[in-house]
Amino acid sequence: MAISVAEYGKSEVQRLASMFRKQNVPCEAFPLFVACLIFLAGCTTAHQDLSALPKNFPPGTVIVSLDTWHAMLAFPVPSQDVPNNGEQEYEEWGYAERAWYVEGRTGLSGIFRALLWPTDGVVEVGRHPTIWAERTPQPPAEVFVLPLEPEQYRNLRVFLESTRLSPTALAGFGGSDFYPSVRSYHLFHTCHQYAAHALQAAGLPLTPALAFNRTMLGWQLGRLP
């Protein structure tokens, strides 16, 4: 069932207002906080029907999933569970703040920390039977399927590998491993800019500096030829 922008936005503001009251945060700070979230997350769109996606994708394809807050890049790869049957699963790459995703330091203080100053980032690498847009707990989500030339595909993979500070994972859960990131996480380098930098390394005409949020990254992806 589709979720309208108005319905989703109203429910989120109500939830945030309740959280502020429980935390005894001054009411004067609430409008500023909501404005920061809108800037970071962008406007949401109606949940896209994912049933039209093909069961298998050709080699050299990268699939971008954008949900309410997060961006993930997926590569179709042969399934490990049932070898030689032609089925695919997905190797996914993403980027996040270490304190929030790995150490569990969430809540209001975690949001302000991630927004206002650089902190350690983590590179997420996972293998899953479905793409992030199909399993996200934060819909609505949209998907962009990008066929790449062999050289573009190689450049993209090389870039992603270069973003890991170490080959040793800090933690692993939910089918993903989390590695220390070369770059810090902050307002101007979130998962959306990370994805844009990766696709730019593949030769796609994206501007990472303008990929502040889901809407801005999705707008650029939608304009690709």
Backbone angles phi, psi at 80, to 5 degrees: -85, -25
Residue 121, pLDDT score: 94
Residue 104, pLDDT score: 77
Does any domain span residue 45?
no
Does any domain span residue 4?
no
Residue 31, pLDDT score: 46
Average of per-residue pLDDT across 204-221: 94
More confident residue, 71 or 99: 71
Does any domain span residue 134?
yes
Whether the pLDDT of residue 185 is over 70: the answer is yes
Do 185 and 117 contact (CB within 8 A), yes or no?
Answer: no
Does any domain span residue 2?
no
Q: Tens digits of per-residue pLDDT, 140-180?
A: 899 999 999 999 999 999 999 999 999 999 999 999 999 99
Q: Tens digits of per-residue pLDDT, 47-72?
A: 335 767 888 899 899 999 999 989 99
Total tally of structural domains belonging to the chain: 1
Does any domain span residue 41?
no
Question: Considering the entire predicted model, what is its pTM?
Answer: 0.76
Do 143 and 76 contact (CB within 8 A), yes or no?
Answer: no
Does any domain span residue 65?
yes
Tally: H helices and E strands in the chain: 8, 7
Q: By residue range, what is the domain housing residue 130? A: 53-222
Does any domain span residue 144?
yes
Does any domain span residue 10?
no
